[in-house]
């Protein structure tokens, strides 16, 4: 079986042929290169109109070579990127795919571009059910397969990682694409401290970009700014990837997207996985940047599952969400969620995303060990700040009626806390509507006191016979801003969606508890949550 794929979501006009039996992918690409600034949608579409026929014809020539002596069309199906992407570019690709499928009289397959980034990594690595970090120009998110869909475990709160970097490089007058130029300059620079914004498995780049521009304008060497920018942004992506591994329990991580070509990002992710005993896979660069090879490979999987499109139902979707795709080609395979649901824990040492927890009798010792992937200056600052914040906020939360462990001792220099042991198991192992309703009530109490937990996942809640405890306030802070309160709810909801077998009743119970305990202010926060959920930031 052979499938022809066509890609053209933004800048790369690309066509490919995937020979399934030989497991061979031929790719022909013609990227758009703007004279100045970033991608101009009209110019990109004009480029697609000129380049797509050329690359498709070259791919067809390859298919005909493979088809020598056979009867029938040179390919069995035509796959194309339906979205997400720039509408004018997508429409050109969609029109070309429909015309080609009609001319060859073969089925048409519509592929989600971001799911294709994940699937090419899974295909090439041979992993069963990995977490995928998609780090591309317009996107940055973590995906994992669960209950027939790819769930968004974490995402950018504003812009894609590549676009964020490009905003800085345009500011200093560098041409598109900016990522390789930042990577090169960073090798000559010294670390410069910049804002670090992680909320659970979500993250934000806007403040970092503003600070980087300001530092450059104030006279900092561009090499130093690039070093600080790269170290900060990629440490954030590595940290949230580790959080996703910890939440789900999987030990497989794949990388997708054009920013994944950066050697420093791959180095950080590899070091993190080595420290956890997890496996990491970064595809060949030709599969990381936008390419039709990944479209053809996923298209073949979808075609084999009879997941094809009628011409009249093949409209492109610039806002095509990865979690809106029914994953027909995976059947009943194992979920990314591998957290134990067998009840009480008896481990004397538990490895989390950020710390190692040692349990002895009624005491817990939590050590934030150095992260080898982070720059030492950044790592020391985060470990110190988070230890201090956790000790303070645990006490403040308890004063407003939220059950938390008592702090017995704090060693800020060693980033170590000694805490009261609470609960019998993580909420991840004891999911129930009653327990998550209590979590909703506790978050409402925190928000009413102007406290944000920062990382309220099912692994940071402990369940006992009569109480539900909130733990791990290391990402917490004080604020009365409704957006920050809504993000707390968003983080918890994502952790439920990505791991629970039946998330809907749990999410309903969580929201019921929050509204009942929080009154009118809670209703305002839930309304903002609906807005947050509808933004589609990871398109």
d(CA 111, CA 316): 10
Look up 411 and say whether it is catalytic: no
Helices (H), 160-220: 161-171, 179-186, 206-217
Determine which one of 455, 472, 484, 488 is catalytic: 455
**CB 252 within 8 Å of CB 144:** no
For 470, the enclosing helix (H) or strand (E) is: strand 468-470
Cross-strand pairs, 141: 134, 155
Number of neighbouring beta carbons within 10 Å of residue 210: 15
Distance CA 434, CA 340 (A): 20
Token pair, residue 482, equals 């409704």
- Which residue matches tokens 């180095």? 267
Render 29-45 in DSSP notation, one character per residue: EEE---SSSS--HHHHH
What is d(CA 366, CA 352) in angstroms, rounded to the nearest whole number? 10
What is the spatial distance between Cα 142 and Cα 136, in angstroms, rounded to a whole number?
Answer: 12
Q: Scanning the structure block, which residue is given the tokens 């040179």?
A: 74
**Structure tokens of 89?**
């570019």
Beta-strand relationship, 363-367 and 356-360? antiparallel
The Cα–Cα gap between 357 and 408 comes to: 15
Q: What is the DSSP string of 393-457?
A: HHHHHHHTT---PPEEEEETTTTEEEEE---SEEGGGS--HHHHHHHHHHHHHHHHTTEE-S---
Which position has the token pair 């940071």? 460
- Exposure of 513 in the CB half-sphere (CA atoms within 13 A): 21
Rounded Cα distance, 355 and 373, in Å: 14
161-171 vs 206-217: helix axis angle to the nearest 10?
A: 20
Residue 376 CB: number of other CB atoms within 10 A?
11
Extract the tokens encoding 72: 């029938």
Of 312, 298, 291, 292, give the one whose Cα is nearest residue 109: 298
Q: What is the DSSP string of 350-407?
A: EE-SS-EEEEETTEEEEE----TTS-HHHHHHHHHHHHHHHHHHHHHHHHTT---PPE
Q: Which residues does the annotation mark as catalytic? A: 455
């Amino acid at each position: 079986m052979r499938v022809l794929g066509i890609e053209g979501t933004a800048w790369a006009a690309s066509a490919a042929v995937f020979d399934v039996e030989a497991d061979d992918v031929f790719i022909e690409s013609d990227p758009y290169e703007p004279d100045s600034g970033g991608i101009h949608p009209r110019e990109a579409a004009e480029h697609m109109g000129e380049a797509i026929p050329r690359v498709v014809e070259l791919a067809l020539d390859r298919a005909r070579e493979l088809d020598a002596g056979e009867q029938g069309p040179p390919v069995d199906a035509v796959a194309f990127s339906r979205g997400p992407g720039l509408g004018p570019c997508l429409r050109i690709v969609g029109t070309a795919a429909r015309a080609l499928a009609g001319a060859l009289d073969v089925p048409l397959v519509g592929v989600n571009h971001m799911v294709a980034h994940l699937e090419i990594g899974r295909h090439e690595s041979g992993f069963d059910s990995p977490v995928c970090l998609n780090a591309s120009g317009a996107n940055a998110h973590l995906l994992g397969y669960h209950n027939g869909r790819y769930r968004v475990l974490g995402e950018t709160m504003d812009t894609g990682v590549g676009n964020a970097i490009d905003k800085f490089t345009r500011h200093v007058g560098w041409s598109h694409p900016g990522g390789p130029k930042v990577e090169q300059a960073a090798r000559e620079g010294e670390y410069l401290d910049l804002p670090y914004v992680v909320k659970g498995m979500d993250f934000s780049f806007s403040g970092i970009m503003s600070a980087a521009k300001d530092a450059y304008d104030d006279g900092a060497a561009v090499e130093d700014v690039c070093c600080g920018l790269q170290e900060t942004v990629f440490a954030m992506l590595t940290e949230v990837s580790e959080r996703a591994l910890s939440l789900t329990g999987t030990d497989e991580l794949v990388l997708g997207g054009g920013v994944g070509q950066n050697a420093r990002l791959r180095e950080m992710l590899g070091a993190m996985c080595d420290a956890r005993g997890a496996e990491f896979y970064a595809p060949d660069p030709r599969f990381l940047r936008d390419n039709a090879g990944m479209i053809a490979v996923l298209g073949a999987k979808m075609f084999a599952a009879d997941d094809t499109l009628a011409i009249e139902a093949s409209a492109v979707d610039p806002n095509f969400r990865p979690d809106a795709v029914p994953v027909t080609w995976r059947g009943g395979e194992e979920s990314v969620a591998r957290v134990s649901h067998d009840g009480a824990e008896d481990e004397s040492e538990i490895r989390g995303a950020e710390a190692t927890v040692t349990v002895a009798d009624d005491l817990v010792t939590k050590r934030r060990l150095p992260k080898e992937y982070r720059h030492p200056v950044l790592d020391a600052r985060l470990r110190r700040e988070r230890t201090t914040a956790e000790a303070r906020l645990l006490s403040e939360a308890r004063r407003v009626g939220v059950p938390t462990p008592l702090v017995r001792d704090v060693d800020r220099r060693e980033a170590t806390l000694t805490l009261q042991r609470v609960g019998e198991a993580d909420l991840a192992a004891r999911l129930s509507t009653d327990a998550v309703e209590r979590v909703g009530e506790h978050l409402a109490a925190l928000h009413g006191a102007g406290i944000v937990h920062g990382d309220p996942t099912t692994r940071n809640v402990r369940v006992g016979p009569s109480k539900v405890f909130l733990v791990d306030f290391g990402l917490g802070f004080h604020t009365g801003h409704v957006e920050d309160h809504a993000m707390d709810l968003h983080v918890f909801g994502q952790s439920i969606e990505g791991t629970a077998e039946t998330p809907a009743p749990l999410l309903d119970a969580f929201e019921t508890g929050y509204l009942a305990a929080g009154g009118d202010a809670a209703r305002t926060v839930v309304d903002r949550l609906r807005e947050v959920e509808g933004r589609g930031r990871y398109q």
